[in-house]
Amino acid sequence: MPPAPSPRYTAVAILLHWTLAVLLIFMIGLGWNMEDNANLFQLHKSVGILILVLTVARILWRAFNPPPPLPDDMTPWEKALSHAVHKGFYALMLLLPLLGWLVVSTSDKQVPTLLFKTIEWPHLPFTEGLRGGATEDIAEFLHSKGAWVLIVLLGLHVAGAVKHQMGAEEGVFKRMIPGLAGATSPPRPARGWIAAFGGALAFFGIIAAMPLLSSSAAPVPAATTEDTGDWDLSSANAEIRFSGTYQGDAFTGVFEDWRASVVFDPEAAADAAILVTVQTGSATTGDNFFDKSLKEGEWFDIAAHPTATVRLTHVQPVEQGFAADAVLTIKGKEITAPLAFTVTFDGDTATLAGGTRLARTELDLGQNSDAGAEYVSDDIEVSFSGTAQRK
- Determine the pLDDT at residue 310: 95
**Helix (H) or strand (E) run with residue 113 in it:** strand 113-115
Neighbours of 341 (CB within 10 A): 22
Q: Which residues of the chain have pLDDT under 50?
A: 1-3, 168-169, 181, 216-218
- Determine the pLDDT at residue 175: 72
- Determine the pLDDT at residue 217: 41
- Determine the pLDDT at residue 378: 93
- Determine the pLDDT at residue 216: 45
- Determine the pLDDT at residue 184: 63
**Helix (H) or strand (E) run with residue 122 in it:** none
**CA dihedral for 11, 12, 18, 19, sign (positive or negative):** positive
- Determine the pLDDT at residue 372: 84
All structural domains of the chain, each given as residue ranges with its CATH number in brackets, are 11-217 (1.20.950), 231-390 (2.40.128.110)
- Determine the pLDDT at residue 262: 92
Burial of 126-156, coded b for 16+ CB within 10 Å and e otherwise, reads ebeebbeeebbeebbebbeebbeebeebbeb
- Determine the pLDDT at residue 1: 39
